Amino acid sequence: MKQAFWSRRLHKWLGLLVGIQALFWMASGVYMAAISIDIIHGDHLSHVERPAVEAKAVALQPSQLAAQLPGMTGFRLKHLLEREVYEVKFAGGIGLVDAASGKQLDPLDQAQALKLAQQAYMGDGSVSGIQLLRELPKEVATRRAPLWRVDFDDSNGSSLYVSPSTGEVVAQRHSLWRAYDFLWMLHIMDYDKRSNVNNTLLRSVSIAGTLFALSGIWLLWFTVRRRAAK
């Protein structure tokens, strides 16, 4: 009888501990299963046309680029805002070099970032705001600051983030993504960075949930055995 008594108490308190989190796990799981991950990623929100590079517009050859920028660690040639440019990687960051003149270009200004975002945007809204962020919000915390954030007044509250260093749209965010991110936080129980799936809290509650299930099985076995003995 003592074993049954303590098992019931353990089962009850474990149920209280993990019950709410189990609800969060199931609710977030339903959301993640119901909405395509491509929609969450925002693939439908933006598309960047990449015209072929015009060879005749490239006066600066890679060997000349390397000689001009001895600290360069990598590069790629691309078309950006009606010109050919080199996107050059340095130990401390990334920059752009005009492929015709060899001139290092300044980071993109507001007008250039706005033009790139409007070219990429595939929704039905119009621009509602633009700002240069030097401290990034959590929704793009893994990207490199600074970033231009361009907001659109569509039904999903969409935002495109454009890098002033490369001219690339580095992230698309919208209400479905933000809801997913919040539910993902609840799902993995990482309330800080929302990325650590091996955190101590999640492990502890997972162990408690396993013990809850095992204690329930033990109580079921005990109840069946007791009834069979009558």
CA angle at residue 64 from 58 to 70, to 5 degrees?
130
- In the block, residue with structure tokens 């993995």: 188
In the chain, where the domains are located: 2-38+180-229, 43-173
Of 176, 175, 152, residue with least CA distance to 162: 152
Rounded to 5 degrees, what are φ and ψ at 209? -65, -40
> Is residue 118 within 8 Å of 188, Cβ to Cβ?
no
- What are the helix (H) ranges across the chain? 2-34, 37-41, 62-68, 110-120, 175-188, 200-229
Q: Chain-centre distance of CA 211, in angstroms?
A: 33
One digit per residue, the tens of pLDDT, for the chain of length 230 reads 566 566 666 667 777 778 888 889 999 999 999 999 999 999 889 988 888 888 778 888 988 988 888 889 999 999 999 899 999 998 878 999 999 999 999 999 999 999 999 999 999 999 999 999 999 999 999 999 999 999 999 999 999 999 999 999 999 999 999 999 999 999 999 998 888 888 999 998 888 888 777 777 777 776 666 666 56
Q: Is 80 helix (H, G, I), strand (E, B) or coil?
A: strand
